[in-house]
A and B are shown apart, each in its own frame.
Chain A
Amino acid sequence: MADLRCTIAGVESINPFWLASAPPTDKYINVVRAFEAGWGGVVWKTLGEDPPVINVSSRYGVHKNGNQAILGINNIELITDRPLETNLAEIRQIRKEWPDRVIIGSMMAVIEEDVWKSLAVKIADAGVQGIELNLGCPHGMCERGMGSAIGQVPEMVEKVTRWVKDVVDIPVFTKLTPNITNILWSAEAAQAGGADAVSLINTVNSIVSVDLDAMAPNPVVDGKGTHGGYCGSAVKPIALNMVAEIARNPETRTLKMSAIGGIETWRDAAEFLALGAEGLQVCTAAMLYGFRIVDDMIAGLSDWMDEKGYASIEDFRGMATPNVVDWNALNMNFDTKAFINPDKCIECGRCHIACEDTSHQAIEFAVAEDGKRSFTVIDEDCVGCNLCELICPVPDCIEMRPVDNGKPYLTWPEHPMNPMKTAD
């Protein structure tokens, strides 16, 4: 069985699965239940200065697919609404009871040096193995000059990171907001401030749906709603890209990453690790299904690693990063064609209508005399877009077959039809 033990920004963990700073890590009972379920660590729900905030009633909205499955949650809950000392006492207690597990203390404050420093010291003194700076919360706290209000200004990201690094001797994770134009600016700022790692992504600013009876955004709080933080599997593609951008940027490629964003399965986890993340944080999946989902994250990742022959996470971590390139580095001569396996086809016609209406009219639909429907790819017209393969409901029915055209790797900058082509 593969060894899932790992070190995340210098913090040793029995597995890469931590719960992100959020409602599931709000208090003793939740965190103990998480550790009982097998989670390697938690990032405690963000702590702030007393007096604690007050949360509103009605806090979540969801984005569902056509049926019952939730693709994303949007939340408007603020940071912990319990006194600082209550939280710290519980952290101390769990540190004693669960010595092999990780607790990272998440914190936020207004942009004042002494506030950041004194709060960081108090949290570090409670025995946490690291501190995470919440510079990403996109709702509520930003209106008070905290969270994303700081995270959206690279200079402030650097400054806050440095303040905390100055006063604690444990790893500092700077948590980044995706609500910016370029994630590299924040990542480089965190690095400049001395961050041991970045955690990303925090939630995406969103209105998840509109209640058409109340005529207000969900969640509706007495007739009104506000934009909130979007999370869950819907944001995974955004997170993957931001993680990859940091991993392949020459300035930040050594920066450690604790990846967050829609991780729901072992496969999601493996993808983030393959793009260079050292550790993983999960929230929404646990909120939807309970802490037990970690069982299959552990088992699935381990089984997959065994199958691939990876003994430890380091064996494959970052392996996909070199293959994330700019569009300009892609091979223009690569050609692939769809092939529909007639033995597997159940004749639903989805590939045909998708190609016919929205792509290249490259799938011929014929009805034989006996009524049998057939769908055949017209190779000359197929551009290899994958659409038919992606929408086909039958596993492995449509296959994309690379064409062996014998042509060399040719990028757009080298392409003869590129008017901007660099002279030979």
Chain B
Amino acid sequence: MSLRPSKASGPDETSGPDETSGQNGLSGEDIDKNFSDLHDPLSLLQAKAEADRCLYCYDAPCIEACPTSIDIPTFIHQIRTDNMVGSAKTILSQNIMGGTCARACPTEILCEQACVLNVSNEQPVEIGLLQRHAVDHLLAKGGAHPFERGPDTGKRIAVVGAGPAGLSCAHRLAVYGHSVTVFEAKAKPGGLNEYGLAAYKMVDDFAQKEVEFLLGIGGIEVKYNQSLGGTVALDTLRADFDAVYLGIGLGATNALGLAGEDMDGVMDAVDFIEEIRQADDKSTVNAGRNVIVIGAGNTAIDAAVQAKRLSAETVTLVYRRGEAQMSATDFEVNLARTNGVDVRLFASPVKIQGEGHVTGMTFERNAIEGGKLVGTGTTFALPADKVFKAIGQKIAPDMLKDFVLDGHKIKVNDRFETSLDGVFAGGDCIKSGEDLTVQAVEDGKRAAQAIHKQLNTGGEA
């Protein structure tokens, strides 16, 4: 049985863009169709049938493949035994954002790649969809938060950033009985879950529902519009709290380094995705008519596919290397192609055309010579009224000045301690595996364990 890809087909283009109004011309119906769930949730019948395919492996490879070590065979077994709440608790005890991870994780390179059914060339168990089924059941059921807060320890911890890394840490600290204050730079919590993932992965305001659920543990206060280095100073936090945890993510983006990057129409893909996610009415988002996306990660795919689904006429994704080097998963690249995105490989941007507003770009074809990527000197041009840059993110440089670094990220030891006493960090702002939601959740959880241990032992972790 293969339940995937469920809705990888192209966008519905019943009406063209309306250039005069600045809107994309899609009806509410088109929008609903183009931005509905990428994968339909499993029905109970499907979930039961899929759960029955799990072999309940011993010391299962899927557990090891999960950055948060969810006990996957157990939670699937619990679906089989009709213990749906228990199943959700098994998931959430390891990964409090199991709901988002079930939607956004590249399961095909994580748990599902490790599924032993692959060994006999069978479809792996749809672990992501089963996880979503269980967690959604618990969230829909409502009622008391499934975890209990320990007795108040009297310790106060500041968490900077209400994204997956920060909230995961905050939740685990609250479970230990500590009091947590979260400082969030934006007006809403969730971090990239709220602002940075394609809308069809997080329908029905799931990021906010998940945060609301997570905060149900109690003992966590979230302060919004509080940016580190702006309204909040690190020194103050260090003075006012028993420990500080930074889950600040990557606030800045890499630039192409070309003249004209400040032209109208040239923007960061993350900003475009945020615009879509935050739009009350997606028909007001103008994705452009001819769109170029530069990059090869999942952010590039999210931007390209959504541009197409917002009725852009042409969307061309350009990457300087080959398909094997793309960091987006095969599933994501195929999703782009089936949505009508033209994927151009081995081409580097060399020039942005336009006056005031971008009108196109010129690319140089690349080749591999002696194992190295080199420009061939031949070029081609593409017209564009929108260019979305998705060539990676980095920490805003002013955030880094206080810390010892590891490359371009904050250096931490195996207890998630930075070079500053009492300051811990996790998530995308440190080097720890892939920059994935699931990794950020794991970092937050483990940092909370380290902080708890240190506070309990008077500083000797």
* B80 and A66 within 8 A (CB): yes
* A393 and B119 within 8 A (CB): no
- A323-357 toward B: CB 8 Å interface, digit per residue (1/0)? 00000000000000000000000111110110000
* B56 and A347 within 8 A (CB): no
How many angstroms between the C-alpha atoms of A349 and B119 in the bound complex?
Answer: 13
Q: What does DSSP make chain B's interface, helix, strand, loop or mixed?
A: helix
Q: A68 at interface (Cβ–Cβ under 8 A)?
A: yes
B445 → A minimal CB distance (Å) = 24
* B58 and A68 within 8 A (CB): no
- B118-133 toward A: CB 8 Å interface, digit per residue (1/0)? 0110000000000000
Q: B322 at interface (Cβ–Cβ under 8 A)?
A: no
B271 → A minimal CB distance (Å) = 40
Q: Assuming the A-B contacts A66-B81, A352-B58, A365-B59, are A346 and B52 also in contact, with contact meaning beta carbons closer than 8 angstroms in the complex?
A: no
Q: B117 at interface (Cβ–Cβ under 8 A)?
A: yes
Chain B's closest residue to A65 (CB) is B52
Chain A's closest residue to B118 (CB) is A346
* A348 and B49 within 8 A (CB): no
Q: A394 at interface (Cβ–Cβ under 8 A)?
A: yes
B58 cross-chain contacts in A, Cβ below 8 A: 348-350, 352-353
* B81 and A349 within 8 A (CB): no
How many angstroms between the C-alpha atoms of A353 and B51 in the bound complex?
Answer: 20
How many angstroms between the C-alpha atoms of A352 and B56 in the bound complex?
Answer: 12
B334 → A minimal CB distance (Å) = 26
* Other-chain residue from B49, B51, B116 in contact with A347 (beta carbon distance below 8 A): B116
How many angstroms between the C-alpha atoms of A394 and B57 in the bound complex?
Answer: 13
* A349 and B52 within 8 A (CB): no
How many angstroms between the C-alpha atoms of A365 and B117 in the bound complex?
Answer: 19
Q: A317 at interface (Cβ–Cβ under 8 A)?
A: no
Q: Assuming the A-B contacts A66-B80, A373-B61, are A347 and B52 also in contact, with contact meaning beta carbons closer than 8 angstroms in the complex?
A: no
A346 cross-chain contacts in B, Cβ below 8 A: 55, 116-117, 119-120
Q: B8 at interface (Cβ–Cβ under 8 A)?
A: no
Q: B149 at interface (Cβ–Cβ under 8 A)?
A: no
A353 cross-chain contacts in B, Cβ below 8 A: 58-59
Q: Which of B45, B48, B117, B120 has its CB near the most chain A CB atoms (within 10 A)?
A: B120
Q: B234 at interface (Cβ–Cβ under 8 A)?
A: no
| CB-CB contacts below 8 Å: B111-161 with A | 116-117, 119-120
| CB-CB contacts below 8 Å: B39-95 with A | 45, 48-49, 51-52, 55-61, 80-81
B60 cross-chain contacts in A, Cβ below 8 A: 348-349
B383 → A minimal CB distance (Å) = 48
How many angstroms between the C-alpha atoms of A67 and B49 in the bound complex?
Answer: 7
Chain A's closest residue to B55 (CB) is A348
B56 cross-chain contacts in A, Cβ below 8 A: 350
* A393 and B55 within 8 A (CB): yes
Q: Assuming the A-B contacts A350-B58, A365-B59, A373-B61, are A67 and B48 also in contact, with contact meaning beta carbons closer than 8 angstroms in the complex?
A: yes
* B48 and A68 within 8 A (CB): yes
Chain B's closest residue to A351 (CB) is B58
How many residues of B are counted as interface, with CB atoms below 8 angstroms from the partner's CB atoms?
A: 18
| CB-CB contacts below 8 Å: A167-214 with B | none
* A348 and B57 within 8 A (CB): yes
A218 → B minimal CB distance (Å) = 15
* A350 and B49 within 8 A (CB): no
B52 cross-chain contacts in A, Cβ below 8 A: 66-67
A365 cross-chain contacts in B, Cβ below 8 A: 59
Q: How many A-B residue pairs have CB under 8 A?
A: 42
How many angstroms between the C-alpha atoms of A365 and B59 in the bound complex?
Answer: 10
How many angstroms between the C-alpha atoms of A365 and B60 in the bound complex?
Answer: 12
Q: Assuming the A-B contacts A66-B81, A373-B61, are A347 and B48 also in contact, with contact meaning beta carbons closer than 8 angstroms in the complex?
A: no
Chain A's closest residue to B56 (CB) is A350
How many angstroms between the C-alpha atoms of A393 and B117 in the bound complex?
Answer: 10
How many angstroms between the C-alpha atoms of A348 and B60 in the bound complex?
Answer: 7
Q: Which of B48, B51, B55, B80 has its CB near the most chain A CB atoms (within 10 A)?
A: B55
How many angstroms between the C-alpha atoms of A67 and B44 in the bound complex?
Answer: 11
How many angstroms between the C-alpha atoms of A328 and B81 in the bound complex?
Answer: 41
Q: Assuming the A-B contacts A66-B81, A67-B48, are A394 and B120 also in contact, with contact meaning beta carbons closer than 8 angstroms in the complex?
A: yes
A352 cross-chain contacts in B, Cβ below 8 A: 58
How many angstroms between the C-alpha atoms of A173 and B59 in the bound complex?
Answer: 55
B80 cross-chain contacts in A, Cβ below 8 A: 66-67
| CB-CB contacts below 8 Å: A366-406 with B | 373, 393-394
A68 cross-chain contacts in B, Cβ below 8 A: 45, 48-49
How many angstroms between the C-alpha atoms of A66 and B49 in the bound complex?
Answer: 10
B119 cross-chain contacts in A, Cβ below 8 A: 346-347
How many angstroms between the C-alpha atoms of A404 and B81 in the bound complex?
Answer: 44
A340 → B minimal CB distance (Å) = 14
| CB-CB contacts below 8 Å: A50-86 with B | 66-68
* Other-chain residue from A66, A67, A349 in contact with B57 (beta carbon distance below 8 A): A349
A363 → B minimal CB distance (Å) = 10
A67 cross-chain contacts in B, Cβ below 8 A: 48-49, 51-52, 80
* Other-chain residue from B48, B51, B55, B81 in contact with A350 (beta carbon distance below 8 A): B55
A348 cross-chain contacts in B, Cβ below 8 A: 55, 57-58, 60, 116
- A295-331 toward B: CB 8 Å interface, digit per residue (1/0)? 0000000000000000000000000000000000000
B117 cross-chain contacts in A, Cβ below 8 A: 346
A255 → B minimal CB distance (Å) = 42
A66 cross-chain contacts in B, Cβ below 8 A: 51-52, 80-81
What are 29 A-B pairs at a CB distance below 8 A? A66-B51, A66-B80, A66-B81, A67-B48, A67-B49, A67-B52, A67-B80, A68-B45, A68-B48, A346-B117, A347-B57, A347-B116, A347-B119, A348-B55, A348-B57, A348-B58, A348-B60, A348-B116, A349-B57, A349-B58, A349-B60, A350-B55, A350-B56, A350-B57, A352-B58, A353-B58, A353-B59, A365-B59, A373-B61
Q: A: which residues have CB within 8 A of B?
A: 66-68, 346-350, 352-353, 365, 373, 393-394
The 6 closest A-B pairs by CB, nearest first: A349-B58, A353-B58, A346-B119, A67-B52, A348-B57, A66-B80
- Can you add 12 more A-B contacts, CB < 8 Å, to A67-B52, A350-B55, A365-B59? A66-B52, A67-B49, A67-B51, A346-B55, A347-B57, A347-B61, A347-B119, A348-B57, A349-B57, A349-B58, A349-B60, A353-B58
